[in-house]
């Protein structure tokens, strides 16, 4: 860029001095204590490394199970499951809208048998499982819980997360089903159910990742993510839940972009912002409610199809900034993801990137190693200020839901994406191999994963066979009970688990809820 500023537009001085930033023990606080700028654990990675995850899932449950077994054998500490579009949108493989999409961008899971196969030979009680699923999160959690019970696991000991953040789908990603009232009902019912039955499970991962992928700045990523979080908490409190009864189980999911120091400062600012929101806005009393726990993932939008080997370097630097910023969990993208789903070898290299950072660089030996840097502290303070400015404006406009309905948040992201792309197109922001240092020669050949079209026909055959073997009367009774529960006030997570045990499929459960809640209509006023 011609003038010196971060990717979010924060001016960058030539040199920083103490007057640019105040950094003292009093203002930063101790690690493990409010406001958690230096980390949520006192000893951070000296005591325990971040959880190394590799986001994976494709084709059938059998194929994905094989990939999970391989990643676990290579040192992955937790599973992170990607689901195909029909699963995300609540359609079984034999639904007309599923045609051409079964197993393509993730694994197809529509029945209890599918989930049994997905976790064949994997003990849910011994790993942490993250499921990137939103509109149908309640159903996937139900499948997982039932399979864990069948394997003899205690539900109270299960560790993991369902993303379950549909507000960001309205804003940035588009994989929604129900309007906001139905969505918030399902979400808060899961909060209540997990609080009573699965206290180690995170019933939501409030996601800034997709907001950033849609073109937001780092400031907008923080602001709109926390605005969504505020909406979820307000809905839960309105339902009658005590903040401290569920806030300790909330988790977050952030992007790691390429502006190295801004990303480090972003994570430090995020912890301070959340601690203040929970303590000052919601008057939470339990220190666990003030603690921001988050998973991070390197930025898919920065990966390039041109000279894809360069993506290894991008991912390594993004991962390092996430670690220096104090992440609790990390996924590193594979070099081929601008072209296709990762191959086994590219997924292994992405995992090795985390392991090299963890075991060879010594950056884990001290807590918050960049604390006190006048530049980093200045960025941290500016990101915090600008985020709170946005939150104040969202409140002024009527809150998160109203800002989604009017398109305010979507417009802010679209404008930022447009400005950023113009800077790339002009060369003010350089992307190596794309708008500078192009290689007119041939790139090294790259193996690309392809999903067989036979996956879909096999999935259709399996689900029809599954339906033929169940006790149909029991299934229909359970689905009717779910409809009545959606019309009333019973906990829907409990009713969904009952429907799963009775043999209902993901599509049938989704249809039952669609018949009560209806379908979300996207804002079209741009």
Q: Above pLDDT 70, what percent of the chain?
A: 98
Region 22-31: what's the mean pLDDT? Answer: 78
pTM of the model: 0.94
Within 8 A by CB and 6+ apart from 499, the residues are 142, 475, 478, 479, 481, 482, 508, 509, 512
Best CA proximity match to 457, nearest among 50, 168, 100: 100
Region 186-196: what's the mean pLDDT? Answer: 96
Cα–Cα distance, 517 to 187 (Å, whole number): 14
Mean pLDDT of the chain: 94
pLDDT at 23 over 90: no
pLDDT at 413: 97
- In the structure, what pLDDT confidence band is assigned to residue 451 with cuts at 50, 70 and 90? confident
- In the structure, what pLDDT confidence band is assigned to residue 522 with cuts at 50, 70 and 90? confident
CA 346 centroid distance within chain: 21
pLDDT at 14 over 70: yes
- In the structure, what pLDDT confidence band is assigned to residue 525 with cuts at 50, 70 and 90? low
- Pure H helices in 172-247: 180-197, 209-213, 218-238, 243-246
Cα–Cα distance, 135 to 178 (Å, whole number): 7
pLDDT in tens, 215-270: 999 999 999 999 999 999 999 999 999 999 999 999 999 999 999 999 999 999 99
pLDDT at 445: 73
Region 114-118: what's the mean pLDDT? Answer: 98
Region 355-368: what's the mean pLDDT? Answer: 97
CATH of span 18-426:
3.20.20.240
Lowest mean pLDDT segment, chosen from 187-191, 275-279, 389-393, 438-442? 438-442
- Pure H helices in 361-471: 374-396, 400-405, 408-426, 454-469
Domain ranges of the chain: 18-426
pLDDT at 446: 82
pLDDT at 1 over 50: no
Which backbone phi and psi does 254 adopt, to 5 degrees?
Answer: -120, 155
């Amino acid at each position: 860029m011609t003038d010196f500023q971060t990717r979010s537009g924060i001016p960058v001085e030539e040199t920083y001095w103490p007057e640019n930033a105040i950094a003292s023990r009093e203002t930063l606080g101790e690690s493990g204590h409010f406001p958690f700028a230096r980390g949520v654990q006192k000893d951070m990675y000296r005591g325990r490394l971040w959880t190394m995850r590799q986001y994976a899932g494709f084709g059938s449950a059998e194929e994905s199970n094989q990939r999970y077994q391989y990643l676990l054998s290579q040192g992955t500490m937790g599973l992170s499951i990607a689901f195909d579009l029909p699963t995300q949108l609540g359609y079984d493989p034999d639904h007309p809208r599923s045609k051409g999409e079964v197993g393509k961008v993730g694994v197809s899971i529509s029945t209890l048998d599918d989930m049994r196969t997905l976790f064949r030979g994997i003990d849910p009680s011994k790993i942490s499982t993250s499921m990137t699923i939103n509109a149908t999160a309640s159903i996937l959690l139900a499948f997982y819980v039932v399979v864990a019970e069948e394997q003899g696991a205690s539900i109270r000991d299960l560790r993991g997360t369902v993303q379950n953040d549909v507000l960001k789908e309205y804003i940035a990603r588009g994989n929604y089903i129900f309007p906001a009232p139905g969505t918030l009902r399902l979400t808060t019912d899961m909060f209540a159910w997990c609080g009573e039955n699965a206290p180690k499970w995170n019933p939501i991962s409030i996601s800034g990742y997709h907001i950033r992928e849609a073109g937001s700045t780092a400031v907008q990523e923080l602001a709109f993510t926390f605005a969504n979080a505020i909406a979820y908490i307000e809905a839960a409190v309105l339902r009658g839940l005590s903040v401290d009864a569920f806030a300790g189980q909330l988790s977050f999911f952030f992007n790691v972009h390429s502006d190295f120091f801004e990303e480090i400062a972003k994570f430090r600012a995020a912890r301070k912002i959340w601690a203040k929101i929970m303590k000052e806005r919601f008057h939470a009393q339990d220190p666990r409610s003030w603690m921001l726990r988050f998973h991070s993932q390197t930025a898919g939008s920065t990966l390039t199809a041109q000279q894809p080997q360069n993506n290894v370097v991008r991912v390594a630097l993004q991962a390092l900034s996430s670690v220096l910023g104090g992440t609790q969990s990390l996924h590193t993208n594979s070099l081929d993801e601008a072209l296709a789903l990762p191959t086994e070898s590219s997924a292994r290299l992405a995992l090795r990137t985390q392991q090299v950072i963890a075991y060879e660089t010594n950056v884990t030996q001290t807590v918050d190693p960049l604390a006190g840097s006048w530049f980093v502290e200045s960025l941290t303070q500016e990101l915090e200020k600008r985020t709170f400015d946005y939150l104040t404006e969202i409140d002024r406009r009527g809150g998160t839901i109203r800002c989604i309905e009017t398109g305010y948040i979507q417009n802010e992201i679209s404008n930022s994406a447009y400005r950023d792309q113009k800077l790339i197109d002009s060369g003010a922001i350089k992307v190596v191999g794309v708008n500078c240092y192009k290689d007119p020669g041939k790139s090294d050949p790259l193996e690309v994963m392809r999903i067989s079209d036979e996956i879909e026909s096999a999935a259709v055959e399996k689900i029809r066979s599954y339906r033929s073997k169940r006790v149909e009367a029991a299934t229909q009774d359970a689905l009717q009970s779910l409809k009545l529960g959606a019309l009333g006030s019973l906990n829907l997570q409990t009713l969904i688990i009952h429907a799963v045990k009775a043999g209902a499929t993901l599509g049938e459960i989704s249809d039952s809820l669609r018949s009560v809640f209806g379908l979300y209509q996207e804002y079209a006023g741009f």
